[in-house]
Structure 1
Amino acid sequence: MVNNLSDLVNLTNLRFKIGELSKMAGVSTRQLRYWEQKKFISANEREADQDARVFSFRMYIKVLLIKHYLDEGYKLAAANEKSKDVIEDELWLHRFFEDSFKGIELIDGKRAVNLGFFDQENRQTLYGFNEGGKISYAVKPLPEKEEEQ
């Protein structure tokens, strides 16, 4: 069983050359270089034998956000600021779920996400269910033998 979602897929290892990033995001390489010059985005540090600049998955997300806000009518500086706010919220949410996710279990024959202890005494566990898009939660007491330990 995978106990940590980040063990399953580590997006930090994804790297994209500027041409790939340009095609994936629908932004010209010229625009990307300008945004990089303005310090709105940044390429990874180049390794000794690496000629091409490469961008991380996080920069890909930032480029998509900047482009989205530009398409919404924001000026570049404002689009960059709005993208920073969204990324900060997303990082917080990611850390929250990474810290609270304890695994996937079968509860009463249904797949459930174990979200950790519900109470200060660590006697109850919070589970989340998704049945056909309907989200629900349940608090279940620990089995007696686990509670005694």
Structure 2
Amino acid sequence: MSFKEQSGIDIDQLIFGISQISQMLNVSPRQLRYWEKRGYIRSLAQKDGQTRQYNAKAVVRIVGIKHFLDEGYTLAAAADKVTKFAQQQKMLHDFVGQRFQGVTEIAGQPALDFGHLADQHLYGVMQQGRAEFKLRQD
């Protein structure tokens, strides 16, 4: 189920102007235009006379690039790290989305239900701040 279906909020409709992003993230409009020219970020299609605008997905990418630049990476390396991180996040989201069955309780503690695994049931639990898996007979 998508975020829009769950929340009723279409994050693609969250749109920010270049000056808003510049102020929020302390990245100059000139830098943003350069990143766009190099293909590291994309603005929404512009109409004549309008300033650049970015959707929420682009803003998240900009935040990531800025983070890695602040860590000392080059622009190309920062953009590459953000791309790889996004791919990993998508894989995690898809995997958990397919396996997650809900939340239940085991011994009075909340447990994430990841469904059947052979003749057992797989759960994820937190034990003293550590994530662990538990297998239980069906």
SS of alignment partner, residue 64 of structure 1: helix
Percent identity, aligned pairs only, is 32
Q: Deviation at 1:45? A: 4.0
SS state at 1:127 partner: strand
Residue by residue, what CA displacement relative to the aligned partner does 1:114-144 show, whole Å, maximum 9, x if unpaired? 112222xxx32211112452322211233xx
Partners of 1:87 and 1:45 lie apart in 2 by 23
- Quick one: distance in 2 between partners of 1:71 and 1:12? 27
Q: Which residue of 2 aligns with 1:145?
A: none
For residue 23 of structure 1, report the CA deviation from its aligned partner: 2.9
State the structure with bigger RCO (CA 8 A, min sep 6), 1 or 2. Answer: 1
Long gaps (5+) in structure 1: 143-149
Gaps of 5+ in 2: none
- Root-mean-square deviation over aligned CA pairs: 2.6
Deviations 1:8-50 (A, max 9, x none): 456744433323322333312221122112221012346x8xx
Q: Give the TM-score normalised by structure 1.
A: 0.71
Q: Provide the rounded CA distance (Å) in 2 between the counterparts of 1:35 and 1:106.
A: 48
Residue in structure 1 matched with residue 18 of structure 2 by the alignment = 18
Q: CA deviation at 1:79?
A: 2.0
Equivalent-residue separation in structure 1 for 2:17 and 2:115 (angstroms): 40
Given the alignment of the two structures, is residue 95 of structure 1 paired with residue 105 of structure 2, yes or no? no
With over 3 angstroms needed to count, the CA separation of the structure-2 counterparts of 1:76 and 1:100, relative to structure 1, is same
Quote the Cα distance in structure 2 between the aligned partners of 1:63 and 1:16. Answer: 12
Distance 1:108 1:57, change over 3 A: same
